[in-house]
Chain A
């Protein structure tokens, strides 16, 4: 079992309110990812779950028992640190065995568990080496091994992949996912990389300035972001935003600013009935923008001038000037476009997001 419940968690560092009233229920066997920009409180939250940081108020419970006052060693958790935190003076074997030795396991059992973990991670050859003789990826595996051998109730990961190069990171990400499927241990994972969050998490917790912005499955966050921050943070390239004023003409709603004027599709218009005459933020993802052709006649369209063409092979990113602002569109790699071209761009009507201009919450 490994059910973790956070109830009204707060953390103050002197006068800084680092984590604000976090409530979360993490189910057994679930892989939950905390994601957000640096300083958003995600690592602090993780360290509070680990017991490395005292909580200022609230309750943390693991499998129904409040662990606020328990030392890290008594919480039955294992943690993988950003810099691996391998003991430099011990061999790989001893690094992995350390936790079991401290817990007074039988020598045979220690041996069995270390070899088993080494086998799972493919580091059986390295057991006699010292950490400094290992590559970054190997160190990462040893750090994982040290967590696995303990068979804890919960794994805690603190940006474990951020020190690896891009290629290795992708590879380790896949292995982590496989490992979780195989072991089925509850995992809480902290990262600032939204791709890691989307690919690894059963559920993702987006944080900003110590406040949980949204909790949900990856696609839920992607398709129904709760506010402008989540919409902009999840997805790459980021969502385009345009401040527009909502007006009514001939029974339909129009959104306009200096650069664009579009007729809002019915579904969006429904939601904006109460905002006529006011300013709202229109959000649209780059892949929901297309170069308009005859099929898009009834889609909202606007004019744009291409400023930069980024050829990625599988797609082309167009940086376009729309009125005063810049928008990015992701278009088919076959599109024939050049810098300076004037385009008519169509929006996929069902994929339009709108946010309140003041609160930035989704409307």
Chain B
């Protein structure tokens, strides 16, 4: 014991080795602490991204390194009818689902913000669609939309609303509507819970003060709740737009992009061309085509968040 204590003291009193001195310097320390993050981001984000760009300007396929072809792949996809459909679909899909997710999510959040029995349980329950792995829940939906076994058809038939079967996933428009419904179902909980969190930061006294000031319920919403919730709403909407724009799972499971390539989104079409068909470079070009839009959205988001922080 005594010996180790002595050696401890000598160690402490010895001049710190060079390496230790470097770590005392905050610039070096910061760098060292950042290294794991840099490595992870570099390996899993920057490297694949750059590889993707390099791939998109070659003619490589599965098993063929290919040559540099410049922007030929981009030229090709812009003249591709299915790609154009996919672009249109992606914007439609993102736009329509976001509007519905926001409206329904806000409505749900306002309901959940009230006091009622079983409030905590209901709030947890609402999150279910968000917690279940998307692929699993989408398979369940696929069943519900199945032309033969569709529980929806069964329901509508027994309610007397339809006489024949509706081929949900076999008709291009209905298939699009179907995947939109599933995306809304999956996305509403995220909106509802995030907006509920936002609503809870707004003091109920403000609403009471407005009520005394003579504001009717919808005026209280429009003049008080909505503007105060806007920062949260913006962030939630932008996150959701990014997610939805690059969505893959729902379409892949429900329709695989069909019928007749009518429901492809950027991600599913890129997958089909790149992996399914083996045209790696063309697939890379398709997924890169998403980049400008997402980049813009991220810029808007960052600018907005900064503005709110400054205010």
Which residues does A use to contact B, with CB under 8 Å?
50-52, 71-73, 77-79, 81-83, 85, 87-89, 98-99, 102-103, 146, 150
Q: Which of A50, A78, A83, A87 has the most CB of B within 10 A?
A: A87
- A161 CB, nearest partner CB in chain B, Å: 16
CB contact under 8 A between A99 and B213, given known A88-B228, A89-B227, A89-B228: yes
Q: CB-nearest residue of chain A relative to B228?
A: A89
Q: A87–B224 contact, CB under 8 A?
A: yes
CB contact under 8 A between A85 and B203, given known A98-B223, A102-B219: yes
Report chain A residues within 8 Å CB of B213.
73, 98-99, 102, 146, 150
- A274 CB, nearest partner CB in chain B, Å: 51
Q: How far is the CA of A225 from the CA of B216 in the complex (A)?
A: 45
Report chain A residues within 8 Å CB of B224.
87
Q: B208–A81 contact, CB under 8 A?
A: yes
Q: B214–A85 contact, CB under 8 A?
A: no
Which residues does B use to contact A, with CB under 8 Å?
203, 205-206, 208-216, 219, 223-224, 227-228
Question: What are 12 A-to-B residue pairs whose CB atoms are below 8 Å?
Answer: A51-B212, A52-B211, A72-B212, A73-B212, A73-B216, A82-B205, A85-B209, A87-B206, A87-B209, A87-B223, A88-B228, A102-B219
Q: CB-nearest residue of chain A relative to B219?
A: A102
Q: Which of B206, B224, B228 has the most CB of A within 10 A?
A: B206
- A52 CB, nearest partner CB in chain B, Å: 5
> A87-B210, A89-B227, A102-B214 known; 12 other A-B pairs, CB under 8 Å?
A52-B208, A71-B211, A73-B214, A73-B216, A79-B212, A85-B206, A87-B206, A87-B209, A98-B210, A99-B213, A102-B210, A102-B215
- B137 CB, nearest partner CB in chain A, Å: 38
Q: How many A-B residue pairs have CB under 8 A?
A: 56
Report chain A residues within 8 Å CB of B208.
50, 52, 72, 79, 81, 85
Q: CB-nearest residue of chain A relative to B205?
A: A85
- A209 CB, nearest partner CB in chain B, Å: 24
Report chain B residues within 8 Å CB of A82.
205
Q: How far is the CA of A77 from the CA of B209 in the complex (A)?
A: 11
CB contact under 8 A between A103 and B212, given known A87-B224, A88-B228: no
Q: How far is the CA of A82 from the CA of B205 in the complex (A)?
A: 9
Report chain B residues within 8 Å CB of A103.
214
Report chain B residues within 8 Å CB of A79.
208-209, 212
Q: How far is the CA of A88 from the CA of B210 in the complex (A)?
A: 12
Q: How far is the CA of A87 from the CA of B206 in the complex (A)?
A: 7
Report chain A residues within 8 Å CB of B205.
81-83, 85
Report chain B residues within 8 Å CB of A51.
212
Q: A77–B212 contact, CB under 8 A?
A: yes
Q: CB-nearest residue of chain B relative to A50?
A: B212
- B201 CB, nearest partner CB in chain A, Å: 11
Q: A72–B206 contact, CB under 8 A?
A: no
Q: How far is the CA of A150 from the CA of B219 in the complex (A)?
A: 18
Q: CB-nearest residue of chain B relative to A149?
A: B213
- A90 CB, nearest partner CB in chain B, Å: 8
Q: A73–B215 contact, CB under 8 A?
A: yes
